[in-house]
Amino acid sequence: MDKTLISADRLSVGYGKRVIVNGVEFEVKQGEILTLIGPNGAGKSTVLKTIAGYLKRLNGTVMIGDQDLLGFSEKEMAKKLSVVLTERIRPELMTCREVVETGRYPYTGSFGLLTQKDKEIVNTAMEAVSMQDFAQADFNSVSDGQRQRVMLARAICQEPEILILDEPTSYLDIHHKIQFFEILQGLAKERQMAVILSMHELDFAEKISDHVLCIKEGKITLSGTPDIVFIPENIMGLYGIPEKYYRKYFG
């Protein structure tokens, strides 16, 4: 029986008192991928930030395993859950490798010095995203797509059970999108991680997801397996696309 790693029940998310999305419910077991889709500004990022513990939830529960998210210390959470965010970072004078190394933070001692084992984990993570040749390159000098792969390697280094990614593939070309999704599926299947991500690439979402949540106008409008979610009526309704355009571009 596969273990449920993260779940939400009647969850409301938002800022301060302003509710952005209501009634979020899901359950992700080890080895599964959950995808959030929906129009821009629907609140996908807000949901992700809340279940990652950055935003205070307004109502409902988020469980990590069988314990409430709030019961974990920062250190414990860091070993359970790792993120790739949309915010662009510009660290001064850091190499790609140094950025990846920060993923080992929860495991190192008081001065953050890496052991031989840590270094090997960093190497493996950089190879997994094919960035080993750019290890010594300045993080600010590589392309957006390469930076995104570095951030994924950083998240992998953290050896989490749960991986949360906010539109991770937006800057990637088709080749690197495929590579990125292959890595994610590998992490889910081989390392038994629970993966939650938001994205706009519906064609990929259909292929890689075990479960899909559709978010629109502050609600979960639909939740289910890809074969239930990805039928033309649902997608037209979710994104507000008139039928003739849907036919023209997707038909």
**Tokens representing 55?**
């935003």
132 sits in which H/E element: none
Site for other proteins in 40-59 (CB under 8 A): 52-54
CB neighbour list of residue 90: distance below 8 Å, 6 or more residues apart: 140
Closest by Cα among 184, 190, 90 to 144: 90
Site for other proteins in 66-125 (CB under 8 A): 73-79, 81-83, 85, 87, 89-94, 98-99, 102-103, 105-106, 108, 110-112
Contact yes or no for 202/234 (Cβ under 8 A): no
CA-closest candidate to residue 187, choices 215, 158, 167, 207? 158
Judged by CB under 8 A, how many residues of this single chain contact other proteins? 33
Contact indicator for 232, 248 with CB cutoff of 8 Å: no
Considering beta carbons, is residue 105 or 245 the nearer one to other proteins?
Answer: 105
Task: Print the binding letters for residues 196-235 with other proteins: x by CB under 8 A, - otherwise.
Answer: ----------------------------------------
d(CA 2, CA 174): 32
Residue among 37 and 85 whose Cβ is closer to other proteins: 85
Measured distance CA(130)–CA(149) in Å, rounded? 8
Largest Cα–Cα distance in the chain?
Answer: 61
Q: Does 4 bind other proteins (CB under 8 A)?
A: no
Closer Cβ to other proteins, 44 or 216, answer by number = 44
**Segment 138 to 177, residues that bind other proteins, using CB under 8 A:** 154, 158
CB of 108 to other proteins, least distance (A): 7
| 224, β-bridge pairs | 212
Least gap, CB of 113 to other proteins (angstroms): 8
Least separation in angstroms between residue 174's CB and other proteins is 27
Contact residues toward other proteins (CB under 8 A) are 52-54, 73-79, 81-83, 85, 87, 89-94, 98-99, 102-103, 105-106, 108, 110-112, 154, 158
